[in-house]
Homo-oligomer: A and B are copies of this chain.
Amino acid sequence: MNIGILGYGNLGRGVELAIKANPDAKLAAVFTRRNPESVKVQTESIPVVHIDDVGNWIEKIDVMILCGGSATDLPLQTPKFAEMFNVVDSFDTHAKIPEHFAKVDAAAKNSNHVAIISVGWDPGLFSLARAYSNAILPNGKDYTFWGRGVSQGHSDAIRRIKGVKNAKQYTVPIDAALDAVRSGSNPELTTRQKHLRECYVVLEEGADAAEVERQIKTMPNYFADYDTTVNFISEEELAKNHSGLAHGGFVIRTGMTNENHKHIIEFNLKLDSNPEFTSNVLLAYARAANRLHSEGKRGCMTVLDIPPAYLSALDGATLRKSLV
């Protein structure tokens, strides 16, 4: 299958790596809003094309992987490019998934394409874990923990405070809460009991550290409901110790099948690179999009609509023999 990458940041570079690891996938071109001359890709002799010229590639690309951000790029890009290509995106604004789905579904059906949205690990693999475990244990309780890893949204929120030059925020799951969940005791956990927020902040010259710390710790939704620590560090230290992209998390469902029998289903991830892992999930679902399209399926889907076998390059008989 011929893959296009639209948007060449961390995610786009990750998809490029993923394509190298999957012999049935071939990178056709990288599309960018920047000056294509200024974009250096990792794969030799791959064209870098300006996004305005994407229309010339309609016959040459089986699936376009959209590597833009969820805040402003994907809400416009996914419906737009679903008119031209089979597409896969990693739209991750949970509350807006129904609205995004509706727009992309209309575009994909209108133009006879397949679109798979909200692919990654949360939403994505964590959605799968929640869906399977809810179907199997209807009488139970879900817990999702994230981290330890940088939250882009919370880091951005800190950077918007006056006097802040740069910042990184780690979401950290609290071990005691995880242990309580894994014990099967079905605890009621407050926001504060589940996660810590660890902030590393570089101040502008002359900024009031105490005031910045106060503003962070009292920020509604983002920090006020959490135990938050604020560490002021230099730009050099931030670059040296806090530019990693590691992340991970846990989805746990506990449930009963009768009054005495408790069951615990846990799915967890420990990732050295959040974007590279997400890229691999995107590529597996690009394979599914391509197959579903060739079978005549049309419209928008999420990971919940895709048979797991469609993610694999192996055929059904091989999968049954080796993995079932």
Contact = CB atoms under 8 A, between A and B. Distances in A.
Interface in A258-312: 258, 260-273, 276-277, 279-281, 284, 287, 302-309, 311-312
B263 A272 contact: yes
A132 interface: yes
Interface in A21-41: 21-22
A212 interface: no
A139 interface: yes
B134 A323 contact: yes
Contact of A324 (B138, B304, B307, B317): B304
B277 A263 contact: yes
A77 B267 CA distance: 34
A66 to B, nearest CB: 17
A137 B324 contact: no
A53 to B, nearest CB: 30
A14 B258 CA distance: 9
Given A263-B277, A269-B265, A307-B306, A323 B257 contact: no
B131 A319 contact: yes
Contacts of A134: 312, 323
A230 interface: no
Interface in A191-244: none
Nearest to A317: B98
Interface stretch (A1-9, A44-52, A121-129, A162-170): A121-129
A275 to B, nearest CB: 9
Contact of A131 (B22, B132, B309): B309
Q: Say how many copies of this protein the assembly contains.
A: 2
A101 interface: yes
A320 to B, nearest CB: 6
Contacts of A101: 320
B272 A262 contact: yes
A154 interface: no
A312 B313 CA distance: 27
A118 interface: yes
A6 B263 CA distance: 25
A317 to B, nearest CB: 7
A135 interface: yes
A316 interface: yes
A177 interface: no
A97 B321 contact: yes
B267 A266 contact: yes
Contact of A270 (B138, B184, B303, B304): B184
Contacts of A148: none
Contact of A284 (B136, B262, B267): B136
A54 interface: no
A280 B136 contact: yes
6 contacts: A18-B257, A98-B320, A138-B313, A257-B276, A260-B272, A266-B270
Interface of A: 14, 17-18, 21-22, 94, 97-98, 101, 118, 123, 125, 127-132, 134-139, 182, 184, 257-258, 260-273, 276-277, 279-281, 284, 287, 302-309, 311-313, 316-317, 319-321, 323-324
